[in-house]
A and B are shown apart, each in its own frame.
Chain A
Amino acid sequence: MNATSKDFTDETELLDGCLKQDRKAQKALYEKYAPRMLTLCTRYVGNKERAWDILHDGFITVFDKIGSYNSTGSFEGWMRRIFVNTALMSLRKADVLKFTEELVVVEREVTNEHTALDNISSKELLRLIATMPDGFRAVFNMYVIEGYSHQEIAKEMDISEGSSRSQLSRARNWLQDRLKERY
């Protein structure tokens, strides 16, 4: 934590500062959340340069819309939603979120992938997720990490719930296959 963010002892003070468009508070907020949000962006869009763009656009939106945060839920949760939406918008623009067919869900017996997960670092796992095909990477991230329901994913991505389920299953299988291959 550097000198800038030391000035804001609690989050309420930090948010008040951001609400008043105090640049020091905005910088402190950025420094606090940017690393976490960049991980999120990388998970969704797959490459660093695009993730940086999402990080930039996401923070502009956060500072612009901070007045609409109503303090009922966690601020980080509110921010995450903004970054997920920004990432999805970018993917939509790139036309990579189209699911034309519902895939058949193939249930597989998970055997030793858990040991594989124990053997890799979070950085390696992030790289694996980032290399996942665009289509089902978004569903996997939303369901597994952000905790969206299939109904919410269907609504956000304008797909059917069945499509969301099948994409998730494919994503899981894909990741488990990669873990098996490597470890």
Chain B
Amino acid sequence: MQDIDFDKKVKEMMESHHEAPPFGSWEKISSALDRKRARVIYFRRGLYAVSAVAASLLLLLFIGRDLPEQMDNAVRTPVLSENNQDRVEKLDKKEETKPGEAVAEKIRTIRHENKKVAEAVIKTEQPEQEANPHITDDRPVNKPVQAKKKPADNRQYDNYYIEQEQEKKSFRDWLGERKYKYALSTNLSSSLYKKSINLVSVSLGYQNDFIPSSLKESVQSQYVSDRRYAMPVSFGVQFQTDIDKKFSVGTGLIYTLLASNYQEISQSYSRDINQALHYVGIPLNAYYNLFENNSVKIYITAGTMLEKGVVASYRENTDGVKKYYSESIPGVQLSAGGGLGLEWKLNKDFGIYLDPSMTYYFKGKQPSSIRTAQPLQYRFEMGMRFEI
């Protein structure tokens, strides 16, 4: 028998042989995988926290910086009629040096010319009216449109042009003139909800909603269970802008953690599951000021928030064997609410605020949590508000 045949025979025998793995080998591997995954998750959480802090610090840096002088606002957003625009363009060609002075001069020149044009219109119109003394109210008066809003004197005439200019401001200009604020907020909901041992609910079986889908098949019907919900915690950044003196709107990005614990005890086993639901949401809020002075602002707020579950993670301990699962969260969570707000202005650009409110979480295909157990919740938001 040649070496090659010997090798072949050895190979065949070894490939057909199977050794039984030791008892508990899989459980050890499973626990090691859980620990490894938990390390990854802690690392990711740390990374998110560091990123959030870094982003906040970056924003704070921007607050401290003075914006460049707005002297050239008129240059960047000229509020001129088409004819005047042509004139500015002509002047631009002539004077390319000293742009600031040149443009300021241009604006003065154009306004002066506008005045002259307007005066000319008035002068030509007035004799027309006097020259037709027999025109009665029944007959339509064929007048230029400007004549209807004819100003009484030159000062009013200036205002007249300013009004016209304002009418022609674009949405972009409007946005540029808004005052913006941003808020770093923390949100605690004190709506603690606890369900103690409840055999009736077990027989109904609705507590199975809490269990990750991978475990549902293995859950037995005869057991005693208990579930507890921790206080929901949110934090995030919100931007707010004034619409007018009393009314403002805001939006932002909010992270929410909903933590719960589920315990299940039967004759043959005990199971403890910790659930953590991570949500990211975009709120849309409206604020109406009731009272405002230099140090305090009282307002009412109403709004809605659309949240998307990022991940549902479960840490399970069944008879001492620890496992870790995670699932994606389908669908979205919509909520709406309103409340009263109070802001202490510590200086011109910075304030601390408290927004107690009531929020209703609409029913959706979301995992069981304090929101599904108690859809109407009292929320307590507090944070810092900065004016940009």
Nearest CB to that of B20 among chain A residues? A35
A60 touches B10 (CB 8 A): no
Bitwise, B27-39 to A at CB < 8 A (1) or not (0) is 0111011001100
Question: B14 to chain A: which residues have CB within 8 Å?
Answer: 39, 43, 122, 125-126, 129, 145
Nearest CB to that of A144 among chain B residues? B7
- The answer to the question of A26 belonging to the interface, with a C-beta cut-off of 8 Å to chain B, is yes
B6 touches A114 (CB 8 A): yes
Question: B214 to chain A: which residues have CB within 8 Å?
Answer: 22-24
Bitwise, A82-115 to B at CB < 8 A (1) or not (0) is 0000000000000000000000000000110110
- The answer to the question of B17 belonging to the interface, with a C-beta cut-off of 8 Å to chain A, is yes
- The answer to the question of A172 belonging to the interface, with a C-beta cut-off of 8 Å to chain B, is yes
A125 touches B10 (CB 8 A): yes
Nearest CB to that of A112 among chain B residues? B1
B9 touches A110 (CB 8 A): no
- The answer to the question of A42 belonging to the interface, with a C-beta cut-off of 8 Å to chain B, is yes
A21 touches B37 (CB 8 A): yes
In B3-51, the 8 Å CB interface with A consists of: 3, 5-7, 9-11, 13-22, 25-26, 28-30, 32-33, 36-37
Question: B17 to chain A: which residues have CB within 8 Å?
Answer: 39, 122-123, 125-126
Comparing A8-16, A51-59, A149-157, the segment that makes contact with chain B is A51-59
A117 touches B6 (CB 8 A): yes
B36 touches A60 (CB 8 A): yes
B2 touches A60 (CB 8 A): no
- The answer to the question of B361 belonging to the interface, with a C-beta cut-off of 8 Å to chain A, is no
- The answer to the question of A38 belonging to the interface, with a C-beta cut-off of 8 Å to chain B, is yes
A114 touches B16 (CB 8 A): no
Which one of A24, A30, A42, A144 lies within 8 Å of B29 (CB-CB)?
A30
- The answer to the question of B315 belonging to the interface, with a C-beta cut-off of 8 Å to chain A, is no
With A35-B20, A42-B19 as contacts: A27 and B323 at CB distance below 8 Å = no
Question: A21 to chain B: which residues have CB within 8 Å?
Answer: 33, 37, 326
A36 touches B18 (CB 8 A): yes
- The answer to the question of B193 belonging to the interface, with a C-beta cut-off of 8 Å to chain A, is no
- The answer to the question of A166 belonging to the interface, with a C-beta cut-off of 8 Å to chain B, is no
Which one of A26, A34, A113, A117 lies within 8 Å of B21 (CB-CB)?
A34
CB distance from B37 to the nearest CB of A (A): 7
Question: B29 to chain A: which residues have CB within 8 Å?
Answer: 30, 56, 59-60, 63
With A23-B214, A56-B25 as contacts: A110 and B6 at CB distance below 8 Å = yes
In A142-164, the 8 Å CB interface with B consists of: 143-145
In B61-97, the 8 Å CB interface with A consists of: none
With A39-B17, A145-B15 as contacts: A23 and B25 at CB distance below 8 Å = no
Question: A48 to chain B: which residues have CB within 8 Å?
Answer: 22
Which one of B3, B9, B28, B33 lies within 8 Å of A26 (CB-CB)?
B33
The CA of A148 and the CA of B25, in the complex, are separated in Å by 29
- The answer to the question of A131 belonging to the interface, with a C-beta cut-off of 8 Å to chain B, is no
Question: A117 to chain B: which residues have CB within 8 Å?
Answer: 6, 9-10, 13
Question: A43 to chain B: which residues have CB within 8 Å?
Answer: 14
Question: B299 to chain A: which residues have CB within 8 Å?
Answer: none
Question: A39 to chain B: which residues have CB within 8 Å?
Answer: 14, 17-19
- The answer to the question of B325 belonging to the interface, with a C-beta cut-off of 8 Å to chain A, is yes
The CA of A139 and the CA of B110, in the complex, are separated in Å by 94
The CA of A21 and the CA of B14, in the complex, are separated in Å by 31
Which one of B1, B16, B20, B325 lies within 8 Å of A113 (CB-CB)?
B1
B19 touches A38 (CB 8 A): yes
CB distance from A65 to the nearest CB of B (A): 12
The CA of A55 and the CA of B22, in the complex, are separated in Å by 10
Question: A177 to chain B: which residues have CB within 8 Å?
Answer: none
The CA of A55 and the CA of B17, in the complex, are separated in Å by 16
The CA of A37 and the CA of B180, in the complex, are separated in Å by 64
B13 touches A122 (CB 8 A): yes
CB distance from A16 to the nearest CB of B (A): 14
In B154-191, the 8 Å CB interface with A consists of: none
With A35-B21, A39-B19, A125-B14 as contacts: A172 and B32 at CB distance below 8 Å = no
Question: A27 to chain B: which residues have CB within 8 Å?
Answer: 26, 30
A144 touches B10 (CB 8 A): yes
Which are the 8 A-B pairs with shortest beta-carbon distances? A35-B18, A122-B17, A114-B1, A38-B19, A144-B7, A34-B21, A122-B13, A39-B19
Q: Could you give 16 example pairs across A and B, Cβ below 8 Å?
A: A38-B19, A38-B21, A51-B19, A59-B29, A60-B32, A60-B36, A64-B36, A110-B6, A114-B5, A123-B17, A126-B17, A126-B19, A129-B10, A144-B11, A172-B6, A176-B6
Given A122-B14, A125-B10, 12 new contacts (CB under 8 A)? A23-B30, A23-B325, A26-B33, A27-B26, A34-B25, A36-B15, A48-B22, A56-B29, A110-B2, A114-B9, A143-B7, A145-B11
